[in-house]
Structure 1
């Protein structure tokens, strides 16, 4: 099977590409290198360009007519940035994806896996959600993901396309073999900021301690990025079983998480258990676009993908620390 991976030079996309290679799939990487890294494309089939570039998409399919499926992981993902720059996020994540879909349909694409997000949910009273839970994104970033899921479902209903949206919870870690990891030197998510604080001997800031959780800090479902990548391989392998050709159902959604909710304060405790020295911590107010968070119930992923996470929260922290220690040797900044 040959797979076009849009955004395949980014953190998650490059890890998906590695998992595909390890499983015998042939990935074709498309990335504009806005946030992705050329170093993550070495020894891989790579096209540099934008998902909205119709002639480039036509060229890729002309040179690889045996592409069987597309993984769409090309997006901007920083929540506070989306609040400050909503038009940029709607342009990059929605408008360009509409163009991308048009180009894919023109080239006969019938299978697409979309990188969606748990940021679209309204958490239940216990902060757990499943695929049928109410949606209530609290940031422009989250709304772009919800919008594109709707666009995909409508497009699939009107064409030969079949669309599987994988709603990610909170990816952490790195490729366990250290081929790729977070490309940013100063990531904006919780674990990246913990590592940055540790390296610079600064305080880690817990943003928001008045949420209605068990300790007041936000709650998340932290999934190892390698488990996330393995789920993509399973989704590609089982795509036609999940969405058979000719069936009435042409779109499906699956949550990808561990099923365990971890608060930010609990995450700090786990980090300190793995790290060689403890973090210094201070508490402050919420950031724009923040939410209390959620964690997933995992029944649909087990049923449809025959998949479950294998790596722990501590594995994710450990692999992230290992990657941070060698990042500058891999990436040429």
Structure 2
């Protein structure tokens, strides 16, 4: 089996590519390297370019006529950035996504795994557990682009032009356990990345928001190891037609999550336990667009994909730390400058 992975030089896409290789599925990578890293494409068929480039998509399918499915990970994903520049997010994620789907249809590729997000759920502050039937109310332009694309691919599937599994996953953390790839952003915006940077720099970690409707007032997230997310994509590839046939539809949504909610303060506690150190923290106001959060009921993934997460939050923290220690050996220093680890 051969699969095209857009955004396959990014954190999640490259990890999925490694999981595919381990499962004897050959990945072909398409990435414009805006946030992805060329280093993550070593020993893989790689095309540098844009998903909206029809000539390039045609070339990929000409070069690899045995591609049987596409995993669409290419996306801008930073919530505060999307609030500041929504036009860029709608252009890059939605407009170019529609063009890409047109190119897939022209090349007669009918199987699409769409990387969606749990950020699209309604954050009502009362019931923080969600499943595939829970109401949607995306709170940021980033989240709205994911909801829009879900709706678009569902319409395309209804028209018989694609078959689609939308994998709506929660908060991927950790790294490839073999440390082939990991988070490539040197100044990440998510909580664990910020905690690790604060741990090494000696600066206090900023807890963004303490007035959310959660047990301790801090945001709650469903953290799932990125390797578990990758394994779910492999399972979805292998069961693609079986899943949709069992659902009696050409499009369906599947949630991927750990099934457990962890607040920011609880995540700090897990990090301190794993490292055996104390982390300095300060409290600051919540960021624009940040929801209280939610966590998953992933029984549909277990039923259709025979998938449940195998790796713990503690293992994700350890793998993140191991990757952080190795990251500059693979990617070099940020902006060509030495990295101060503290």
TM-score, normalised relative to structure 1: 0.98
For residue 244 of structure 1, give the secondary structure of its aligned residue in structure 2: helix
Alignment of 1:92-107 (within 5 A): 92-107=92-107
Q: Determine the C-alpha separation between the residues in 1 that align with 2:325 and 2:229.
A: 23
1:141 to 2:142 alignment = yes
| Distance in 2 of aligned mates of 1:174 and 1:25 | 20
Cross-structure match for 1:308: 308
Aligned counterpart, 1:254:
254
Is structure 2 residue 164 aligned with structure 1 residue 163?
A: yes
Q: Distance in 1 between matches of 2:50 and 2:279?
A: 40
Moved over 3 A (4+): none
Q: What is the rounded CA distance, in whole Å, between the counterparts of 1:251 and 1:136 in structure 2?
A: 20
Q: What CA distance in whole angstroms lies between the structure 2 residues aligned with 1:49 and 1:316? A: 31
Shift, 1:160, TM fit: 3.2
Q: Superposition pairs for residues 228-239 of structure 1, below 5 Å? A: 228-239=229-240
Instruction: Give distance in 1, aligned partners of 2:123 and 2:96.
Output: 29
Q: Is the 8 A contact 1:166 1:254 kept in 2?
A: yes
Aligned length, in residue pairs: 332
- Report the CA distance between 1:278 and its aligned residue: 1.7
Q: Distance in 2 between matches of 1:182 and 1:37?
A: 10
Report the 3-state secondary structure (helix = DSSP H, G, I; strand = E; otherwise coil) of the residue aligned with 1:255. Answer: strand
Q: Which runs of 5+ in 2 are unaligned?
A: 334-342
Query: What is the rounded CA distance, in whole Å, between the counterparts of 2:99 and 2:59 in structure 1?
Result: 15
Deviations 1:174-230, CA, capped at 9 Å, x for gaps: 000000000011111101100111111000011111111111111100000000000
- Residues 90-143 of structure 1, C-alpha deviations (whole Å, 9 max, x = no match): 001000000000000000011000000000001462300000000010000000
> SS where residue 164 of structure 2 aligns?
strand
Match of 2:206 in 1: 205
Aligned residues of 1:202 and 1:280 also touching (Cα < 8 A): yes
Q: Aligned partners of 2:127 and 2:321: how far apart in 1?
A: 31
Query: In structure 1, what is the equivalent of residue 47 of structure 2?
Result: 47
Q: CA deviation at 1:277?
A: 2.2
Looking at structure 1, the residues matched to 62 and 170 of structure 2 have their Cα atoms a distance apart, in angstroms, of 35
Question: Hey, what's the Cα distance between the residues in 2 that align with 1:222 and 1:3?
Answer: 27
Match of 1:284 in 2: 284
Within 5 Å, which residues of 2 pair with 1:41-190?
Answer: 41-123=41-123, 125-190=126-191
What's 1:295 paired with?
295
Contact 1:186 1:192 in 2 (8 A): yes
Q: 1:269 — aligned with what? A: 269
| Counterpart-to-counterpart distance in 1, 2:127 and 2:217 | 13
> What SS does the aligned partner of 1:29 have?
strand
Structure 2 length-normalised TM: 0.95
Cα distance in 1 between the residues matched to 2:27 and 2:213: 43
> Do 1:82 and 1:139's aligned partners in 2 also have CA atoms closer than 8 Å?
yes
CA contact (8 A) 1:123 1:129 kept: no
CA contact 2:123–2:291 (8 Å) conserved in 1: no
1:241 aligned partner: 242
- CA distance in 1 between counterparts of 2:188 and 2:301 reads 28
Structure 1 stretch 142-151 or stretch 210-219: which is displaced more?
Answer: 210-219
CA distance in 1, matches of 2:63, 2:12: 25
> Tell me, what secondary structure is at the counterpart of 2:184?
coil
5+ long unaligned stretches in structure 1: none
Task: Give the Å deviation of 1:276.
Answer: 4.2
SS in 2 for 1:164: strand
- Per-residue deviation at 1:243? 1.3
